[in-house]
Amino acid sequence: MTWWCNFLHRAAKLWKNFLRRNPLMTQTEEKTQAPDTPMVPIEKIVSLCKRRGFVYPNSEIYGGVSGIYDFGPLGVELRNNIRRYWWWSMVQTNDNVVGIEGSIITHPRVWEASGHIENFVDRLVDCKNCKRRFRQDHLPEENLLKNKCPVCGGELTEPRTFNLMMETYIGVVEGERMKTYLRGEACQNIYLDYDNVLKSSRMQIPFGICQIGKAFRNEVTPGNFLFRQREFEQWDLQFFVHPSEMQKWFDYWKQFRFEWYKGIINHKDRLRFRAHGPDELAHYAKQAFDIEYQTVLGWQEWEGIHWRQDWDLSRHSQFSGQDLSYTDPETKERYIPWIVETSGGVDRTFLNLLLDAYEEEPDPTGKESRTVLRLHPWLAPVKVAVLPLQKNKEELVTTARDIHKKLRRLMVSQYDDIANIGRRYRRQDEIGTPFCVTVDFQTLDDKTVTVRERDHMTQVRLAIDELPMYLLEQVTWK
C-alpha cells in the first residue's frame, strides 16, 4: 500500500503546485495575487458552497444578480456561529461594551452628515481594448501612472465617478415620497443611538457600542464571490473615550481584534497589519490599520481599525442640532467623545475562513483522497455526526438515533446512515464536522462508541454517557 500512498502524496503535491501557478481568479480587477504560496482558488470554494449548501447565487433561476448571494442550510449555521462568537467575545464578555440593532433605513440627513452623499464614491476606469472595468484605487501603481490596463496593457478611459449609496423611497404618494438610502455602512446607527444608550444603560466613558448588520453598496466592481458584494453584513465596535485616552484604547482594540482573528484561523502567518499611508488617512485620523489576510486574491483587508476622533458625533450634533457632548460625572468636564472604530465584514470572514480551512489531502489509510474543511470546532456548522455502522441492524440504528436525539439538544448534530462508513466520514470532513460518533457492535455490549476526530482522523472509545461533556468541552467557545 505504501507505493499507493506515496503516489497520492506526490499527486497532491503536484496538484498544489499547479494551483499555486494557476490561481483561478474570477475577476482580475482586485489587487494583485501574493506570490508563490499554495492558496485555494476561489472556484473550489464556490463549487463546494453550492454543492454542499453553504451559499447559492441569489435569484439564480432568473439568471442571478451580480454581487448578491443567499446562504443555504450549512451556510446559515456557519454564519450564525461566526456572528454569535463575535457577539460573545465583543459584547457579552466585555463589561464596558453593549450592543444594539439599528434599522437599515434612516433619515436621509444621516448620510449628509456622515459625508456619504458627497464623498462615498468610487472612481472607475474601463480598458478601451479588452473592456474590463477597474476601480482606480485598486490599480497597481505602474498601471495607474502609465494609464495602462493591468490585464492586456490596453489604454484606460478617463475615470468616472459613481456614488455607492443605494437609493430607496419612503411613502406611497408619488411626489410626496421621501428619497432615502439603504445604509452604506452599519455603524451610523451607533452614533444615532449613542445618546439613548448613554441615558438608558448607565454606561460611562470609556465604553463601547457594538452592532452587526447589513450594509448596501452599489459596488462598481463586485466580484470574487463573497469578497465584494452589493449586499453584505458588517460588524462594528465604536468605542467612546476621553481624548487623552485615545491612543491607549486604539492600541488595545487593535491588538484585541488581531488576536481574535488569529484565534480562529489555521494559517496564522497569513494575517498581518497594514498601516494606512498619509494619502489614505482621513483628515481627522492620526492613524489607521487594516487587518489583512492573504489569499489567492493577495493581501486584502479583513477589518479596519480606525481613529475617528470626534468627527462622527460632532457632525451629527451639527446636522441634527442636538448636543451630543458628554459631561464627566466626577470632573464635570464637558467634551465630545473620541471614537476608536473596529469594522469588519461577516461575509469576508465567512469567505476567508473557508479559504483558510479548505484542503485536499491523500487519505493516510490509502483508500481515496479527501477534501477537508479544517474549520475551528467553535464555528463549524455541524458539530457532530452520529453514524450507525450498518443501517440494516435495527439495534445499531435505534441506539444511534437515540444518541443523536440527546446530542441535538446541545449542539448541531446530524444522523447519517446512507452509504458505507468511509463515505460518510468523507461527507462530514468536506463540511468541516469536527467529530463523528460511530455506533458499532461493541456499543451493544458495553455502551461505548467510537469518536473520530476530523483533522487527524484519530479515534477514541468513550462511554455514551461521557459523550455530551466530551463534545461540549471542545465545541464551546471559551
For cell 449555521, name the residue. 77
Task: Name the minimum Å distance from CB 375 to ligand ATP.
Answer: 19
Nearer to ligand ATP, 219 or 429 (CB): 219
Q: What CA dihedral angle connects 358, 363, 369 and 374, to 10 degrees?
A: -10
Nearer to ligand ATP, 68 or 410 (CB): 68
Nearer to ligand ATP, 264 or 387 (CB): 264
CA dist., res. 406 & res. 398, Å (int):
12
Nearer to ligand ATP, 290 or 310 (CB): 290
Task: Name the minimum Å distance from CB 222 to ligand ATP.
Answer: 7
Nearer to ligand ATP, 126 or 347 (CB): 347
Residue 396 CB-density burial (10 A; 0-12 exposed, 13-18 middle, 19+ buried): buried
Task: Name the minimum Å distance from CB 302 to ligand ATP.
Answer: 6
List CB contacts of 384: < 8 A, sequence separation 6 or more: 407, 411, 412, 413, 414, 433, 434, 435, 436, 437, 471, 475
- What does the radius of gyration of the chain's CA atoms come to, in whole angstroms? 26
Task: Name the minimum Å distance from CB 143 to ligand ATP.
Answer: 18
Give the N- to C-terminal CA distance of the chain in Å, as an integer. Answer: 42
Task: Name the minimum Å distance from CB 101 to ligand ATP.
Answer: 17
Nearer to ligand ATP, 349 or 448 (CB): 349
- Peptide bond before residue 38 is cis, with ω within 30 degrees of 0: no
Interface residues toward ligand ATP, by CB under 6 A: 185, 217, 219, 228-229, 232, 234, 301-304, 343-345, 347-348
Q: Whose CB is nearest to ligand ATP?
A: 345
CA dist., res. 187 & res. 210, Å (int):
8
Beta carbons of 157 and 147 less than 8 angstroms apart: no
Task: Name the minimum Å distance from CB 187 to ligand ATP.
Answer: 9
Nearer to ligand ATP, 181 or 232 (CB): 232
Nearer to ligand ATP, 154 or 159 (CB): 159
Task: Name the minimum Å distance from CB 314 to ligand ATP.
Answer: 20
* Beta pairing partners, 340: 239, 307
Task: Name the minimum Å distance from CB 301 to ligand ATP.
Answer: 5
List CB contacts of 383: < 8 A, sequence separation 6 or more: 377, 411, 412, 413, 433, 434, 435, 471, 475
Task: Give the CA angle between residues 472, 475, 478 to the nearest 5°.
Answer: 95
